[in-house]
């Protein structure tokens, strides 16, 4: 992992399109601003990890645990 | 031209082009860029979201309002801009289902719904209050007649 020390007001560039602003440090919290292309989703890590875990758990469902698709299911929306 | 995929769970399936949903950012942590919703004959409220790219990847998803009548989806401005959908009520919304045994203990992820609009889909973070990651799916389904439900 790359480790960089930054002071409030300083920034980090990830490539040309993503800017991380270190805005202020209050007590043990850092306020961080992120400028990224709007197509790029930005998540708090703990939310991302919890959703990933739920998605993985959902994807472990076996075929017969839920109603089966109809034979022509792929033709319908 | 229909695509044929040999799914792990359901065997070979023909997917019509218009049934394919593009997920520009995939599903969170799972990736995949193309999925299809597989309807069932019973008209059940839970359908499978099958990956086109990975035949072994499929998730049961539900129409949230069939189970949670007062469910609300609220998107942050940046999330609404990202997906180009400002009113989730005008799109199709699904929630992933965690299948468990017994089936009564199944839960749905109300915090990260899937919004589908005009053939494209996104999994988003719901900012609404009272949107847990594991909401018991059958908690609000009518129980066998009680004094309260009959009233």
**Contact call for residues B74 and B128 (beta carbons, < 8 A):** yes
Strands annotated E in chain A: 11-14, 18-26, 29-35
Q: Check: pTM over 0.90? Answer yes or no.
A: no
- Tens digit of pLDDT for each residue in B85-105? 878 778 999 999 999 888 888
B41 contact A CB<8A = yes
Nearest to A70 among B24, B29, B39 (CB): B39
Query: What does the alpha-carbon distance between residue A23 and residue A30 come to, in Å, rounded to a whole number?
Result: 7
Query: What does the alpha-carbon distance between residue B6 and residue B132 come to, in Å, rounded to a whole number?
Result: 34
Q: Where are the domains of chain B?
A: 3-139
Q: Six-digit token pair at B114? A: 């899937």
* Residue closest to A69 by CA, chosen among B99, B44, B83: B44
Tell me the helix, strand and coil percentages in chain A, rounded to 5: 25, 25, 45
Query: What does the alpha-carbon distance between residue A53 and residue B59 come to, in Å, rounded to a whole number?
Result: 13
Provide the residue-wise pLDDT of chain B in tens; the chain has 151 residues.
788 999 999 999 999 888 899 999 999 999 889 999 998 877 788 999 999 999 999 999 999 999 999 999 999 998 999 999 878 778 999 999 999 888 888 999 999 999 999 999 999 999 999 999 999 998 765 554 444 444 3
CATH no. of B3-139: 2.30.290.10
Measured between CA atoms, how close is B83 to chain A, in angstroms? Answer: 8
First and final CA of chain B: distance in angstroms? 53
């Amino acid at each position: 992992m790359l480790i960089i020390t930054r002071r409030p007001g300083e920034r980090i560039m990830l490539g040309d399109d993503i800017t991380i602003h270190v805005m202020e440090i209050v007590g043990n919290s850092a306020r961080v601003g992120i400028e990224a292309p709007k197509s790029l989703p930005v998540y708090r890590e703990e939310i991302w990890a919890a959703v990933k875990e739920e998605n993985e758990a959902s994807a472990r469902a076996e075929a017969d645990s839920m109603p089966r698709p109809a034979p022509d299911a792929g033709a319908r929306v | 031209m229909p695509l044929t995929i040999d799914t792990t769970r359901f065997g070979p399936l023909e997917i019509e082009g218009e049934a394919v949903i593009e997920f520009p950012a995939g599903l969170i942590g799972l990736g995949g860029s193309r999925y299809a919703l597989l309807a069932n004959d019973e008209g059940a409220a839970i359908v499978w979201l099958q990956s086109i790219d990975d035949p072994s990847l499929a998730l049961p998803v539900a129409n949230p309002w069939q189970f949670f009548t007062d469910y609300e989806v609220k998107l942050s401005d940046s999330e609404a801009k990202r997906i180009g959908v400002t009113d989730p009520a005008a799109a199709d919304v699904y929630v992933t289902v965690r299948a468990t045994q017994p089936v009564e203990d199944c839960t749905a992820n109300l915090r990260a719904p899937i919004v589908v609009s005009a053939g494209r889909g996104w999994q988003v973070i719901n900012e609404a209050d009272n949107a847990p990651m594991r909401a018991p799916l059958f908690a609000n389904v009518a129980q066998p007649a009680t004094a309260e439900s009959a009233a």
